[in-house]
A and B are shown apart, each in its own frame.
Chain A
Amino acid sequence: AQKITQTQPGMFVQEKEAVTLDCTYDTSDPSYGLFWYKQPSSGEMIFLIYQGSYDQQNATEGRYSLNFQKARKSANLVISASQLGDSAMYFCAMREGESGGYQKVTFGIGTKLQVIP
């Protein structure tokens, strides 16, 4: 079974609107971490936001927020007030197990977001 599922290969959003990128995950480990990364056409992977499995509140970082629904095993990324520079590939990723050492991170296949002027 896929550990990280991103079902939207491509998304369009109007500039200044909000957009939600879907991510569901599969794990039996009670301790895990969820990440979102942005990859523009230049190729670099940019860390956006992190959510721990024990975190009580949804993570937020500026215009990025993570809609964490633990029972549904979903960790959707919400980008508010989209900007042209947000056009990129977005990857959801998961670390299983406790932090504090080497833990393998599994990436989803990504969602390509295009912001329309």
Chain B
Amino acid sequence: GAVVSQHPSWVICKSGTSVKIECRSLDFQATTMFWYRQFPKQSLMLMATSNEGSKATYEQGVEKDKFLINHASLTLSTLTVTSAHPEDSSFYICSASLLAASTDTQYFGPGTRLTVL
């Protein structure tokens, strides 16, 4: 099946520092990757859509200067949380779209738990 990895699986950082999270599709090429944020006991909230070789499309209310997304290749997208603050603490999860026939199923990475002190 389609496998998506994320690194790191968890990170603790000091307020004001930047954190980079990597999302890789391991056995398929993903022209589109998605970044979600999930607060405890809540659903997934789409933050942005990342297309290889072009600028990311951010959802309303998501600060593009704070959450930098780079989709450098067909298998790698990165999310950088710049100048992180405690309110940025959350579970960040990426997905990659496998363009199988008529499904566009998204396969998810294992997620990254960010804690900002």
Judging by beta carbons under 8 Å apart, are A52 and B107 in contact?
no
Interface residue ranges of B85-117 to A (CB < 8 Å): 91, 93, 95, 97, 99, 102-111, 113
Could you say which of A45, A46, A47, A105 contacts B46, with CB atoms under 8 Å apart?
A: A105
How far in angstroms is the closest Cβ of chain A from B107? Answer: 6
Bound Cα distance from A22 to B5, whole angstroms: 30
Residue of A nearest to B112 (CB): A43
The 4 A-B pairs with the shortest beta carbon distances in the complex, nearest first, are: A45-B108, A99-B104, A43-B111, A44-B110
User: Which single residue of chain A is at the shortest CB-CB distance from B99?
Assistant: A100
Which residues does chain B contribute within 8 Å of A109, judged by CB atoms? 42-43
How far apart are B39's CB and chain A's nearest CB, in angstroms? 11
Docked Cα-Cα span, A57 to B93, in Å, equals 32
Residues of A within 8 A of B (CB): 33, 35, 37, 42-47, 50, 52, 91, 95, 99-110
* B26 close to chain A: CB less than 8 A: no
- Contact status of A47 and B107, CB under 8 A, knowing A100-B99, A105-B46, A108-B43: yes
Report the minimal beta-carbon distance from B4 to chain A, rounded to whole angstroms.
9
Question: Does B11 interact with chain A (Cβ within 8 Å)?
Answer: no
Using C-beta atoms within 8 Å of the partner chain, give the interface range for chain B.
20 to 34
Note all chain B residues with C-beta closer than 8 A to A50: 103, 105
**Which interface residue of B95, B104, B108, B110 has the most chain A CB atoms within 10 A?**
B104
User: Which chain A residue lies CB-closest to B1?
Assistant: A47
Judge whether B109 and A33 touch: CB under 8 Å. no
- Tell me whether A45 and B93 are in contact (CB under 8 A): yes
Contact A103 B104 (CB under 8 A): yes
- Interface of chain B residues 12 through 32 with chain A (CB within 8 A): 32
CB neighbours of A100 from chain B (8 A): 99, 102, 104
| Complex: chain B residue closest to A45, CB-CB | B108
Bound-state CA distance A102–B43 (Å) is: 21
The chain B residue sitting closest to A35, CB to CB, is: B105
| Given the contacts A43-B111, A44-B108, A45-B108, A110 and B103 also touching, CB distance less than 8 Å | no
A101→B104 CA distance, assembly (Å): 7
Q: Give 13 pairs: A residue, B residue, CB < 8 Å, sorted on A.
A: A33-B102, A33-B104, A35-B106, A45-B108, A99-B99, A99-B103, A99-B104, A100-B99, A100-B102, A102-B32, A105-B106, A107-B43, A107-B44
